[in-house]
Amino acid sequence: MIARELMIPGAFVFEPEAFPDHRGSFVSPLQASEFVKAVGHPPFVLGQVSHSVSRRGVVRGPHFTRTPPGVAKYVYSPWGKVLDVVVDIRLGSPTFGHWESVVLGSESHCAVYLPVGVAHMFVALTDDSVMNYLLSSEYVAGNELALSPFDPELRLPVPDDITPVLSERDQRAPTLAEAQNAGLLPHYETSMDIEAALCPW
């Protein structure tokens, strides 16, 4: 497995080795030893595992969790193809307002670790694209927030050759500046402290 840190501090992409044969293929998207080697601490204790299925053009996010409590995520796409985007919305972060994207899917087999406090978005590039989410805590509707994927300041990479399909919530989501003015954004130091507490051993 190859691991590298993204431009966003604390966010990593993992590329596992796939083993194809006459039966199909086998891949391990998460290996604890490689995670520790890259991130510096063990994977979080699982609070929830979820998955979504999206048709081409679906845009989910950017979504983030009110911090505190915050949540860390490990995501990968076992089927289809998605453009996965990590957005640093942590006030005080050296990369605040910046984003980085990674192509996930059944060809790349890559996974992305999203630390506490960042926002997550993906765009489905093919029909029936599946996303798997490993979460450090359970979903609580009142703690889940969204930003506009069309914020002119963020300039997120929604491809021009798709017709975006959004939920009603994402259509109404505020810009980063509006969320900051409303006091919704997490702070970098608080996020780092919560991240460290996820794995106290």
To the query of whether residue 63 is one of the catalytic residues in this protein, the response is: yes
| Digitized pLDDT (tens) for each residue of the chain, 201 residues in all | 999 999 999 999 999 999 999 999 999 999 999 999 999 999 999 999 999 999 999 999 999 999 999 999 999 999 999 999 999 999 999 999 999 999 999 999 999 999 999 999 999 999 999 999 999 999 999 999 999 999 999 999 999 999 999 999 999 999 999 999 999 999 999 999 999 998 766
| Catalytic entry in 41, 63, 74, 98 | 63
Cis bond leading into 69, ω under 30°?
yes
Determine which one of 22, 98, 109, 133 is catalytic: 133
CA distance 59 to 64: 14
pTM exceeding the 0.85 threshold for the entire prediction: yes
CA distance 101 to 104: 10
Q: Is 188 a catalytic residue?
A: no
Helix (H, G, I), strand (E, B) or coil at 180: helix
**Cis previous bond, 200, omega within 30:** no
**Inter-residue contact 156 to 62 (CB < 8 Å):** yes
**Could you give the 3-state DSSP secondary structure of residue 48?**
strand
